[in-house]
Structure 1
């Protein structure tokens, strides 16, 4: 029985091209080295002694840079190709991480965080477009899930190692490791994956479809982006307010915080691909699955109102992890499915910008609410926001169902 289960699990990973596996490997190396993000708010608060308001502003500029980088990455991917953007972004973001550790002033960090995220987040829409070039259409959701598994396995290892590095070397060590991992990852990609101008998996029967409507008039896409932005705001609490809350309310060490993040990564590594394969196999409605994910996230943050028992942090992380597995892979898939051929970069740029906006709002709203009225008010606000996200998902579902009926009639 165990052998059969293992065999079914392994079968979920069959059928990918060599390029997808190389992309997955470089993503793992990069994300395992991305130790700065989970501890950034703690670094600013505890090492540099910034106020909650200053931490919120640094994270705000972090998110603004991410939004601009996402837009540029998508725009340039359509213009000059995803390959050049990926190489440029990872190499120069690696160099930037080496430099940023020496900047400790509030204004300097606001500016440098903005610039580094402009460069770093050009990578994301380019990477999404690369999946369209290197994966068959029917494998793209699974390919995206494989890359997400690499991200989460990297996050599982990274924060725990990051906690140990902080305890033994200090926060500066994180910047060296992060920069080196970016450069190593892109060197692997550049050496083993060749630039592809056109995918052999494009639809040869319908080449060069014309963009018949503007992305800005795609009502279902924009309402769905609202739902995605909300799930992003809830998820990013893991990196902004929660590490501080775990320390102040339950006196967790950096290593214990890292272990909780490791739990998130391991759950996703073992369960996300089977969940995605099941949804694809049963042809379940992806928007409904995203709504379930948003509901799980909302409940997980409501649970933070129980603040006298440290075990609630494990239950919260469990629910948040399932919310992430239900919401994120199928959000990406839906966004890509709305994009006409040749304009995937534009759609994925706007899609990734919605998560950059989430990062801005998650940090600014969270830190602002905590500073004004405490952690419990933040958990109540975030949970209620998640409920609104569920209703936005249901609204999107009704619009897409009406579109199908109009197409049939």
Structure 2
């Protein structure tokens, strides 16, 4: 029997959502270079930059909480359209103020990120609504692939704009957001679950069956998923220590060439992700998601252990390749695992909770990283990150064992 090729049997909507992710990746100008903008253009110290990164991570929370319940009850698409519009306008205005009054840019970015945080849970739920249990891993990997095809070029373009045309980093991302908004309004259908669909799901035995009651009740019905979300938050914190330090480390080594070389590393990351995603998805289908996620964390740990100990750009590229492979394993399995165990009627709220708890790790990391850099050096920062990632890898393997035991118990009770 002839094997079906990956990504060849999707609905039109999934391909359109893939196009939107491509444009989002291509327009990823601001956030890979935000720490450099604050330190080089506005003169922020590493500690002050860490404080700011903590603040912008925290600002995701209120937006996410406000919109997630509405998205589950009314319409995912309407929430995405409204909040994406506000985000795009805010980030374009920030670009205008790079020349008019650059000290106001950090405030405008905070406003933009409030709306970005409000968009994420509804967007994640909308994407999930267009998938099935059978094609969800493949579809999520397709979105990830499309985003990274765009990301292969976006940071490289931003790296060359950074020194001479910094305002266009912000304006360019805003224009990309407006373009995706137009596609979303004109082409993508809203497939939020109806009351009939939720009632039918209650009778099923699938992992994503609906649950009556509050989001707290839904969470308590899935204790192992709650443990996973907490571990992923720990993973996000440990990884973000190094992600925050990487652009600063590259600029510390290569001075004025730092932004362009960092942009090259991020493009190399995206190119590798694009070339490896299909292969890794095919491999992952043969194994448990938690096994693949633990492998991802291990690859991050190994790569970051050697960061801060090398100054050769060639070796930095090799380490980037290593953690990029880990990124693919994580990205193609983590969301798939979470959404497969999320109740149908609570997708936006679960996505919001995941974003908030993960965001806590992401938020604290730049603040801690800034303190470490001011008190010690890059080697200490990357070593701390690596050790924590090894601990996280162990915790995921423990959770994997708990899931296996639960499946055996459930099988015996049938």
- After TM superposition, the score normalised by the length of structure 2 is 0.89
Q: Determine the structure 2 residue equivalent to 1:116.
A: 112
Structure 1: give runs of 5+ residues left out of the alignment. Answer: 1-6
> Deviations along 1:25-48, whole A, 9 cap, x unmatched?
112112211201111000000001
After superposition, the Cα gap between the structure-2 partners of 1:216 and 1:49, relative to the gap in structure 1 and judged at 3 Å, is farther
Q: C-alpha distance in 1, partners of 2:65/2:89?
A: 22
Question: Is 2:341 aligned against 1:335?
Answer: no
After superposition, the Cα gap between the structure-2 partners of 1:28 and 1:238, relative to the gap in structure 1 and judged at 3 Å, is farther
Q: Determine the structure 2 residue equivalent to 1:301.
A: 304
Question: Is 2:26 aligned against 1:32?
Answer: yes
Give the deviation of 1:226 after TM superposition: 2.9
> Deviations along 1:312-355, whole A, 9 cap, x unmatched?
21121011101111112211111112212211222221122233
Give the deviation of 1:110 after TM superposition: 5.7
After superposition, the Cα gap between the structure-2 partners of 1:113 and 1:176, relative to the gap in structure 1 and judged at 3 Å, is closer
- Equivalences for residues 197-216 of structure 1 within 5 A: 197-198=192-193, 206-207=201-202, 209-211=210-212, 213-216=217-220
> Deviations along 1:13-61, whole A, 9 cap, x unmatched?
1111111111111121122112011110000000011111211111111
- Contact 2:51–2:367 (Cα < 8 Å) also in 1: yes
Structure 2: give runs of 5+ residues left out of the alignment. Answer: 204-209
- Equivalences for residues 178-327 of structure 1 within 5 A: 178-198=173-193, 206-207=201-202, 209-211=210-212, 213-216=217-220, 218-237=222-241, 239-251=243-255, 252-280=257-285, 282=286, 284-327=287-330
Q: Which moved more, 1:268-277 or 1:220-229?
A: 220-229
- Contact 1:12–1:274 (Cα < 8 Å) also in 2: no
Q: Which moved more, 1:44-53 or 1:188-197?
A: 188-197
Question: Is 2:395 aligned against 1:392?
Answer: yes
- Contact 2:91–2:108 (Cα < 8 Å) also in 1: no
Q: C-alpha distance in 2, partners of 1:137/1:68?
A: 30
- Contact 1:293–1:327 (Cα < 8 Å) also in 2: yes
- After TM superposition, the score normalised by the length of structure 1 is 0.90
Q: Aligned to 1:86, which of 45, 62, 80?
A: 80
Q: Aligned to 2:361, which of 355, 358, 361?
A: 358
After superposition, the Cα gap between the structure-2 partners of 1:265 and 1:202, relative to the gap in structure 1 and judged at 3 Å, is farther
Q: Determine the structure 1 residue equivalent to 2:206.
A: none
Question: Is 2:145 aligned against 1:140?
Answer: no
Q: C-alpha distance in 1, partners of 2:340/2:259?
A: 40
- Equivalences for residues 124-163 of structure 1 within 5 A: 124-163=120-159
Q: C-alpha distance in 1, partners of 2:281/2:259?
A: 32
Q: Determine the structure 1 residue equivalent to 2:207.
A: none
Give the deviation of 1:132 after TM superposition: 2.6
Q: C-alpha distance in 2, partners of 1:291/1:307?
A: 26
Q: C-alpha distance in 2, partners of 1:153/1:356?
A: 25
Aligned residues: 398
- SS at structure 2 position matched to 1:122: helix
Question: Is 2:54 aligned against 1:53?
Answer: no
Q: Aligned to 1:405, which of 381, 405, 408?
A: 408
Q: C-alpha distance in 1, partners of 2:29/2:178?
A: 15
After superposition, the Cα gap between the structure-2 partners of 1:237 and 1:151, relative to the gap in structure 1 and judged at 3 Å, is farther
